């Protein structure tokens, strides 16, 4: 019996420290859709003109994954749902060759594992309520499969929208190409960069929990519709095209 107060004290301490170290802990919040974000590698390298323009690793020719995010409306939440389920690199060892091509980091130090850890801990741990996403391995494997299934590069290519240094495109044409193919409204993002008015940056597709494509809540492009958009060709890290 003399241990009871001690146990209670430890429990309180545990709860308190948990709150302290997880300010964003929000597991009570359910979500109603996923935002699946893919980005165009070359634009990430040129973002804000501060990064090295040749940051795309060899072998990458298509759009890559930023993340699969549980979302309520437009808000990417809940996040950081389970800090007792830390990222374990060993669990996804077999997926690494695919992850390196389909889910690379474009930061200057190319910290792939750090990027995957962040996505798992922030978003993956909130997705485990669904049986098809109830492990770290499944979260990465399923997201990789979405990148194959929802191949933005090929959808745009079919409409003659291909990376170019000379040609620019209209935001509406990009939206319409995606809408024609997927039959749902995606959200298109552009980035203003020094060397051009705006560059094609992200495409978000929204999925319900089945998971099937649905219209994104706000499908208005985060681009300037009155200006052309550039879709820059990939400049490879090793300089060979
Ligand atoms: C970009 O990075 C590559 C590989 O790290 C390096 O060889 C090249 O010199 C860098 N270029 C610039 C402009 O910093
Ligand atoms: C949190 O992660 C642990 C370790 O994997 C797991 O046993 C537990 O069920 C998870 N909790 C929730 C609420 O998912
Ligand atoms: C949708 O996104 C656009 C572009 O960022 C923004 O101006 C608009 O307010 C958003 N609409 C809603 C309903 O959130």
Nearest CA to ligand 3 atom 2: 220
Q: Which residues contact 233 (CB under 8 A, 6 or more apart)?
A: 42, 163, 164, 165, 241
Asked if residues 77 and 29 have their Cβ atoms less than 8 Å apart, the reply is yes
Asked if residues 61 and 234 have their Cβ atoms less than 8 Å apart, the reply is yes
Q: For residue 70, what pLDDT is reported?
A: 97
Q: Ligand 3: which of 215, 218, 224 to mutate, judged by most atoms within 8 Å of the beta carbon?
A: 218
Q: Ligand 2: which of 82, 83, 127 to mutate, judged by most atoms within 8 Å of the beta carbon?
A: 82
How large is the average pLDDT for residues 233-241?
70
Q: For residue 19, what pLDDT is reported?
A: 34
Whether the per-residue pLDDT at 117 is higher than 50: the answer is yes
Q: For residue 195, what pLDDT is reported?
A: 67
The whole-angstrom separation of Cα 87 and Cα 117 is 5
Whether the per-residue pLDDT at 22 is higher than 60: the answer is no
Tell me the per-residue pLDDT of 184-233, one tens digit each, with 9 for 90 and over: 999 999 998 776 789 999 999 999 999 999 999 998 999 999 999 999 99
Active site residues: 66, 119, 123
Q: By mean pLDDT, which of 5-9, 49-53, 136-140, 173-177 is the weakest?
A: 5-9
How large is the average pLDDT for residues 30-42?
95
Q: Which residues contact 106 (CB under 8 A, 6 or more apart)?
A: 41, 44, 45, 51, 55, 56
Q: Biggest alpha carbon distance in the chain?
A: 79
Q: Average model confidence (pLDDT) for the chain?
A: 86
The whole-angstrom separation of Cα 76 and Cα 218 is 13
The whole-angstrom separation of Cα 55 and Cα 65 is 16
Q: For residue 96, what pLDDT is reported?
A: 98
Tell me the per-residue pLDDT of 132-173, one tens digit each, with 9 for 90 and over: 999 999 999 999 999 999 999 999 999 999 999 999 999 999
| Phi, psi dihedral angles at 188 (to 5 degrees) | -105, 135
DSSP count for the chain of H helices, then E strands: 7, 5
Ligand 2 pocket residues where CB is under 6 Å: 82, 84-85, 128
Asked if residues 53 and 45 have their Cβ atoms less than 8 Å apart, the reply is yes
Q: For residue 57, what pLDDT is reported?
A: 85
| E strand residue ranges, 55-195 | 64-71, 187-193
| Residue, of 185 and 53, whose pLDDT is higher | 185
């Amino acid at each position: 019996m003399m241990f009871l107060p001690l146990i209670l004290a430890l429990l309180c301490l545990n709860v308190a420290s948990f709150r302290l170290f997880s300010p964003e802990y929000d597991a009570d919040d359910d979500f109603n859709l996923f935002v699946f974000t893919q980005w165009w590698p070359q634009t990430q390298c040129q973002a804000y003109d501060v990064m090295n323009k040749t940051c795309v690793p060899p072998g990458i020719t298509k759009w890559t994954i930023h993340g699969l995010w549980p979302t309520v409306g437009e808000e990417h939440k809940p996040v950081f749902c389970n800090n007792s389920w830390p990222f374990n690199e060993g669990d996804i060892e077999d997926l690494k060759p695919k992850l390196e091509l389909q889910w690379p980091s474009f930061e200057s130090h190319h910290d792939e594992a750090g990027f995957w850890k962040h996505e798992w801990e922030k978003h993956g741990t909130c997705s485990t309520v669904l049986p098809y996403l109830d492990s770290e391995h499944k979260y990465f494997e399923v997201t990789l499969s979405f990148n194959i299934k929802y191949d933005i590069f090929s959808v745009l290519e079919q409409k003659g929208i291909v990376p170019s240094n000379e040609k620019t495109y209209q935001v509406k044409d990009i939206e319409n190409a995606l809408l024609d193919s997927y039959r749902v409204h995606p959200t298109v993002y552009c980035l203003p960069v020094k060397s051009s008015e705006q560059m094609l940056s992200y495409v978000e597709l929204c999925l319900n929990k089945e998971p099937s494509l649905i219209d994104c809540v706000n499908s208005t492009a985060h681009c300037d519709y009155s200006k052309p958009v550039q879709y820059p060709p990939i400049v490879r890290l090793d300089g060979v095209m």
